[in-house]
Amino acid sequence: MRPCGQIEKRKGLMKILYFDCFSGVSGDMTLAALLDLGLPLEKLQEELKKLGLENYSLEIRPGSRSGIAALGLEVKVGPHEEHHRHFSHIREMILKSMLDLEVKEISLAVFQRLAEAEARVHKKTVEEVHFHEVGAVDSIVDIVGTAIGVHYFKPDKIYASELPMGWGFVQCQHGRLPLPAPATVEVLKGYPVKSVNVEGELVTPTGAAIVAVLSSKVSPFPSMVVEKIGYGMGKKEFPDRPNLLRLVLGEGTEAYLADRAVILESNIDDMNPEFYDYLMERLFQKGALDVALSPLQMKKNRPGTLLRVIAEEKDAEALSDLILRESTTLGVRSFSVNRKKLPREVREVETRYGKVRVKVSGEIRFQPEYDDCRRIAREKGIPIQEVYLEAMKKR
């Protein structure tokens, strides 16, 4: 019999853990939600003992927000506990412990992300970073405890929603800081966020680092069969939303993946057609996922071209700037879209003509790489179709 709270993965399906951050995320909310999801408290406490930390206790409190039952968590620390640690001290503590390898890797990755963010904010090296709030025992427990929970549930994929950014100021060891906090913004470079009209800190640096490290993709609610739901309760109350983090655990098919992308568009009617080849090359170099050109009939019956670029949200700004610099357009339209796509990977197969890379998408598509087939055909002086067919035999 499997432990209570764990879900046994069925053949052909993958286990998904989804961070639904409609009110943001923090370290204590994440750990509380994992406990509500089914992580046994005894298991958590047993694993945390391997860190060798003392003079603290976990206080778990049932509660509710907007009538939704949830768990709150607070790490009670004794008066003589050390509140400031260097990243090197935390790393040594984790590496020397008897924690599982995956727990160590996740914990160190989160702390590394935080250390790099703090280093950029304060213009120091990572080794010079002197943690304040995140070096305290409660933050160590939140981060390592989250890693223990992830290791316990063993999801194949972790997805998360966009993170909502509140406004205002927060008081911390460094003084009064604007929200979102500088470290939070640094941690979330390249991660999609959105502004909400809430005064207060919705996303803490620790919560931001946990989501940024764990999530494979930012996604709307993924397609899956929901098995368990856990709610972690924040300490504050907000007027327009329950201060909760919702974790959803379930099973999804590997047939499709979901994520978000940005479409960039421009209508162009006055550019030398020879320049499009160079523009397309530069766009791909800057991270464009796809670039397409379509004929248009524009105002005054002038023939024109629709330039359409598909990009990840983190690359959209740089690609928009490139379009404005390298084309004759005066503006770029942009809008976010949801994507459903097949999972894909690139493999290398051995043929009698040499190695050929192939794109494999799920169980239904097997596509030899054109560039490899062309190169081999030229080197061997044989038809490209023959190389292609040889690679297809390895399907």
- Domain shared by 211 and 307, yes or no: no
Same domain, 170 and 301: no
Q: Which of 187, 221, 255 is the last residue of a domain?
A: 255
CB atoms within 10 A of CB 72: 22
Residues 247 and 297 in one domain: no
102 and 28 share one domain: yes
Work out the widest C-alpha separation in the chain, in whole angstroms. Answer: 79
DSSP character string of 158-222: EEEPPEEEEEEEEEETTEEEEES-HHHHHHTTTS-EEEEEEES-SB-HHHHHHHHHH-SEE-SSP
What's the pLDDT at 89? Answer: 87
Asked if 359 and 346 touch (Cβ cutoff 8 Å), the reply is yes
* Residue-wise DSSP of 20-35: E-BTBB-HHHHHHHHH
Contact 287, 319 (CB under 8 A): yes
Same domain, 269 and 136: no
Q: What percent of the chain has pLDDT over 70?
A: 91
pLDDT band at 190 (very low <50, low <70, confident <90, very high): confident
Q: What is the C-alpha to C-alpha distance for residues 150 and 89, in angstroms, rounded to an integer?
A: 24
Q: Are residues 18 and 99 in the same domain?
A: yes
Do 183 and 292 have their domain in common?
Answer: no
The pLDDT tens digits of the residues spanning 7-66 come to: 454 545 789 999 999 999 999 999 999 999 999 999 999 999 999 998 889 999 999 999
Question: How many domains is the chain partitioned into structurally?
Answer: 3
The answer to whether residue 3 scores a pLDDT higher than 80 is no
Identify the pLDDT of residue 253: 65
* Cross-strand pairs, 14: 252
Q: 7 lies in a domain?
A: no
pLDDT score at 254: 57
The C-alpha atoms of residue 305 and residue 277 are separated, in whole angstroms, by 13
Q: By the 8 A CB rule, do 348 and 356 touch?
A: yes
266: domain range? Answer: 258-340
* Tokens matching residue 263: 């479409």
Domain boundary residue, one of 340, 360, 380? 340
149 and 124 within one domain:
yes
Asked if residue 4 is part of any domain, the answer here is: no
83 in a structural domain: yes
